[in-house]
Amino acid sequence: MPLLKSWVASANAPDTPFPLNNLPYGVFSVGHGALRCGVALGDQIIDATGLEAAGLLRADEDADVLGAPNWNDFMALGPAAWATYRTRLAGLLLEGVEQATQNAITAHLVPMAQVTLHLPLKVVEFTDFYAGKHHAKNVGTMFRGPENALPPNWQHIPIGYNGRASSVVVSGTQITRPCGQTKAPDADMPSFGPCKRLDIELEMGAIVGTPSQMGWPVSVAEADDMIFGYVLLNDWSARDIQAWEYQPLGPFQAKAFATSISPWIVTKAALEPFRISTPAREKDLLPYLHEPGPMLYDIDLAVTMAPADQPATTIARTNYKEMYYSAAQQLAHHTSSGCGMNTGDLLGSGTISGPEKHEGGSLLELTWGGKAPLTLKTGETRNFIEDGDTLTLTGAAKGEGYQIGFGTCTGTILPAVKTPDEGTKP
């Protein structure tokens, strides 16, 4: 699909992440004003709340769904409403529309440089998966050796765990270094203190738009229809805390302290030209996980690290197409027990790594457990994240003269706060 030209000139720049082909959904505020639903276009934000209030573009003729400080009510309308709204909005923004329409819409454009971005949705539940084969093999090799790298169930089932929706934050939110229990191999007792092996996990997040009924599994095709869109996701990880706590039930406090997502929800419609099949299976999947067509997306991803007040270094590049299980498969499996899904549920893909060393989606892989430190542009080295470091995830699907971008998913690490036995809450 070629670039769709808009009368909003900045949307036609080849380097913008937000051309008319994209139209991602977010939430913004200006100054101390109220939170409003918005759509990114070039260097502008279309005030969707304002368009609805003015009667210029409504998603529901009978109710205001964009007055809330998130897109949840809109998502609950379902795929037909999503498609109609997006088509009508694009029609108002296409190059060549009459001047009166341009004037009416211009009154509801806000320069992106003037806004603060917020979580685009109310996250109801958060589930994180372990569905990248290269990542699973790398981590398994480190801890169990190459012959036992993948657990016996891994090629049959999308492994996951239920996380914390309460600690999902928008890009730009500062992250406090977590504290927790760790145990040195030669110690008789564990100790409590700040994490010493703080890490990232480069992921994509799939957002559930329409719910499923408890007790009623859905197919992969139905699951794909339920997904509203995608965000970049960084599931911050305390590797030393995780190593002590995760057996036998898996991650807990090591993953509960923070998960960052990008501020713009990129819709499936925008990503449609970039669909790609999951990789060939070494072992057959059970029929309920079979895909009716391509369910992954060709999205280039990158990670940068910047020490405090220093330039950023790109430390990893990979692609979402490296995933072994698609979000639709993960969602279908999530419902297979009869688990009901909600509008606003968030599914983390699992760490996205490629086959080469520079394609690792975590510092655990990039430094091979801290044994091979990274060297940054500044000359500094890193095994894991230090206080003051800023980690930034970026991603874009590349089209003919345009790209479908997600904005950035960034966070700066603050020092640990006092431990529970040292002081009171803030």
135 included as an active-site residue: yes
Kindly indicate whether the domain formed by 126-414 is annotated with CATH number 3.90.850.10: yes
Q: What is the pLDDT of residues 336-355, one digit of tens each?
A: 999 999 999 999 999 999 99
Structural domain boundaries in the chain: 9-118, 126-414
Q: What is the pLDDT of residues 223-276, one digit of tens each?
A: 999 999 999 999 999 999 999 998 888 889 999 999 999 999 999 999 999 999
Strands ordered across the beta sheet of 313-319: 175-176, 403-414, 390-398, 300-306, 313-319
Catalytic entry in 108, 135, 333, 334: 135
Radius of gyration from C-alpha coordinates of the chain: 22
Token pair, residue 193, equals: 């203190």
Position 249 scores a pLDDT of 85
Short-list 203, 405, 170, 202, CA closest to 305: 202
Q: What is the pLDDT of residues 121-154, one digit of tens each?
A: 999 999 999 999 999 999 999 988 988 899 999 9
Please state, in angstroms and rounded to a whole number, the distance separating the CA atoms of residues 290 and 218.
12
Is residue 9 within 8 A of residue 398, CB to CB? The reply is no
Q: Can you tell me the mean pLDDT for 156-180?
A: 97
Which CATH superfamily hosts domain 9-118?
Answer: Fumarylacetoacetase, N-terminal domain (2.30.30.230)
Token pair, residue 412, equals: 């700066």
Question: Does residue 213 or residue 146 have the better pLDDT?
Answer: 213
Mean pLDDT of the chain: 96
